[in-house]
Amino acid sequence: MKLLTIIYDSSIESSMKELLDALEVPGITWIYDVPGRGGRGPKMNSPVFPGSNNIAYLILTPEQITRVHRAIRRLQESFRLKPGVTLFTQEIDVLP
């Protein structure tokens, strides 16, 4: 099993949730309004640096990761101004 971490611009929250629901992802943990800095610059939820990120954690098989990754990149490309989306995986052991 792998942990897929998705860090994405909070402005696409409804689209991301809709996509993950359509993909029938079995379980998700969400964290909202996270400040940070990345390829799109700082997002500190302030007048000087508006915006914030959200984070989704998913535990999936490698095959599911591939399917979700492709779908998220298609979603990202569907926007005229491509929103920031960072994906990474980690090997995990699920404890009983």
Domains within the chain, CATH numbers bracketed: 2-91 (3.30.70.120)
Please count the other Cβ atoms lying within 10 Å of the Cβ belonging to residue 54: 19
Kindly report the pTM of this predicted structure.
Answer: 0.93
pLDDT at 17 over 90: yes
Confidence of residue 40 (pLDDT cuts 50, 70, 90): confident
pLDDT above 90: percentage of residues in the chain: 90
Interatomic CA distance for residues 70 and 86, integer angstroms: 13
pLDDT at 38 over 90: no
> What pLDDT, on the 0 to 100 scale, is given for residue 94?
82
Interatomic CA distance for residues 29 and 49, integer angstroms: 26
Interatomic CA distance for residues 2 and 65, integer angstroms: 8
Contact 90, 42 (CB under 8 A): no
> What pLDDT, on the 0 to 100 scale, is given for residue 74?
98
Interatomic CA distance for residues 86 and 12, integer angstroms: 13
